[in-house]
Amino acid sequence: MKQQQAQPVGFNIRMWGYLPSASPDKAPLLKPTSVFPSLSQSGWKAVCSGGCGFTLAISESGKLYSWSSTEDGQFYQFTGKHQQGCPELICLPTESPFIYAAAGWAHCVAVTDDGEVFTWGWKDCSPNEKLTEKQSSVAFMKNVLEGNAKPAKARPTGTGLQLSGTLQKISIHRHEAANDRLSDEVSKKRKLSVEEVSSPESTNTGDDYNAIAPPSLVLFPQGVNIIKIAAGGRHTLALTDLGHVWGWGYGGEGQLGLGSRMCSIPSPQLIPYVESTSCLLNDGGRNSEGQTLGYVQKIPGKHIVDIACGGRHSVLLTDGGALVTFGWGLYGQCGQGSTDDELSPCYVSSLGGLQVVGVAAGLWHTLCITNTGDVYAFGGNQFGQLGVGGDQAEMFPRLVETSVLEEQNAICVSAGARHSAICTEEGSVFCWGWNKYGQLGLGDIINRDIPSQVPLEERACSVACGWWHTLSLVYAQ
C-alpha cells in the first residue's frame, strides 16, 4: 500500500508500543500517544513501517525524521543526541523531498521523489557502494555527527553494469579507507550498552557496533527510477516506476527471489519476475531426486505495483491483483501449502482470483487486503497474529472473519514482528497478535487472536507497524 499523502487539513501521528525514549522510564506505551512535530516542521505526511525500538516518519515538506531512541540516540542513525521522544531530522545529502522510507531490524532505507535511494545501518544490509566524492567526504559525516550537515545535490553517473545470466549487477565500489575509519568513529560515538540499544529480546552483542554502515547512496543503472522501498530483517527490496523489483542484502532463505540461497548480495539485483509471467505451482509431490513437481500457470498481471518484506520472506503484488511470494517458508508464510522455502517468485493461486490491493509481511506471517476490503492472513500464528482465532499456523490464505469487521473495509494493512494492523475506510484502526509491549494500543499487555479496535479519538487514514510498536496517521482536529 502507498504511504498516505497529506491533505490540506493536515495530519498528526499517534504511537503506541515499545518506543523506549517516548516515556520517562522507557516503559511501553499501552495506549495511543501523541507525537509532537519538532520545532523545524509543522506537520506529517506519512508514517513508515519497521524499526526495532525506533521509528521513521516523513513531514509535510518531505523531510525524514526519527525518534524514540534511547538516551544517547539510536546506533542505527547519525543524527545528534535525542531529546525525550522528540522527532529529529535525519540529515542525508540530498535536496530532494523524501516520498517513502522503511526500516528493518537494524537498517533503514529511504527514497526521494527523484528516485534517489539512501540506506544506512548494519553493513550486511547495505550495498558496498560509495557516495559521490562530495557526499562521502569525512567532513560531511562530521557535520552529520554535529547536526550541521548541509544538503549536496548529486546523482550517480554511469551504470557500471555487468551481466551474469539474466541478472544485471552493479559494480561494487568499496568505501575509501577514510570513510571506514570514520564509520568506526561514528560507531564508537553512537555506541550504547546492549541493554539500551536492543529490544528486550535482542541477542545483539557488542560486536554489532563494529558492523554499522554510514548513509550511502544506492546506485542503479541509468534510467532506473525507484518509487518505493521495503526493508526486511536483513534484506531490502526496491520498486521502480516501470514495475520492476530490485533486491539486495541477505538471501539465505531465498528472500531475494534469485533462485538460490546466496547469503550475501552486496549490490542490487533485478528480481527476474518481469522476465517471465508464469510460475511453477506446486502440487505437493516430489520426484525421486527430491525436486518439486508441479505445473506452470500464468500469473495475472504484467508488472509489480507493491512490495513488502518480512523477516526472511518477501511479497509482491501485480497489477492484475495477484500475490507473489518467496523466501523462508517454515511457518507457511509463502502461502504455498507447505513449509518449504521458495527460492523464486511463486504465485499464491489459492486466493482463487481475488483482487489483492495491499500487502504486508511480518516476521513469520503475511497479510493482504482485497478490493472488497477483506483481510486474508497466512503463516505463523503463535501469538494470534493472523487474527483468525487460536494459534495454529495457516499454510494457505485464510479470511479474517470477525463481527467487529463486518461493517468495515480495510484500505491499509501492516505487520509487525508478531502483530498485525489495518486501517479501514471508516477511519478506524484494528490490531491483533502479540501485545507484550502494548503494540496493540488497547491499554494492556494481553495478546489478541482476533482484531480489536484501537481507541483513537481522531479519524485515521493509515497505520504502520514497527517490530514492537505501531503508528497511525490521523486527521488533525
- The pLDDT, as a whole number, for residue 69 is 61
User: Which is nearest to 106 in space by CA: 233, 210, 200?
Assistant: 233
- The pLDDT, as a whole number, for residue 181 is 33
C-alpha angle with apex 169: 163 to 171, nearest 5 degrees?
110
Taking the alpha carbons of 110, 426, 400, 438 in that order, is the dihedral positive or negative?
Answer: positive
| DSSP class of 9 | T
Calpha distance 58→66 (Å, rounded): 9
Instruction: Indicate the helix (H) or strand (E) that contains 189.
Output: helix 177-190
Q: How would you write the pLDDT of the chain (477 residues) with one tens digit per residue?
A: 545 444 446 899 999 999 887 777 889 999 999 987 765 566 899 999 999 889 999 999 999 999 876 443 334 444 444 455 688 889 899 999 999 999 998 899 999 999 999 999 887 777 764 443 333 323 333 343 343 433 333 333 222 222 222 223 222 232 333 234 333 433 333 332 223 333 434 434 344 445 778 889 999 999 999 999 999 999 999 999 999 999 999 999 999 999 999 888 989 999 987 444 555 555 445 555 555 555 566 889 999 999 999 999 999 999 999 999 999 999 999 999 999 999 999 999 999 889 999 999 999 999 999 999 999 999 999 999 999 999 999 999 999 999 999 999 999 999 999 999 999 999 999 999 999 999 999 999 999 999 999 999 999 999 999 999 999 999 987
Q: Which residues of 158-182 are buried (b: 16+ CB within 10 A; e: fewer)?
A: eebeeeeeebbbbeebebeeebeeb
- The pLDDT, as a whole number, for residue 80 is 40
- Sequential DSSP letters for 269-291: EE-GGGG--EEEEEEEEE-TTSP
The domain spans of the chain are: 11-475
Is 2.130.10.30 the CATH classification of the domain at 11-475? yes
- The pLDDT, as a whole number, for residue 278 is 53
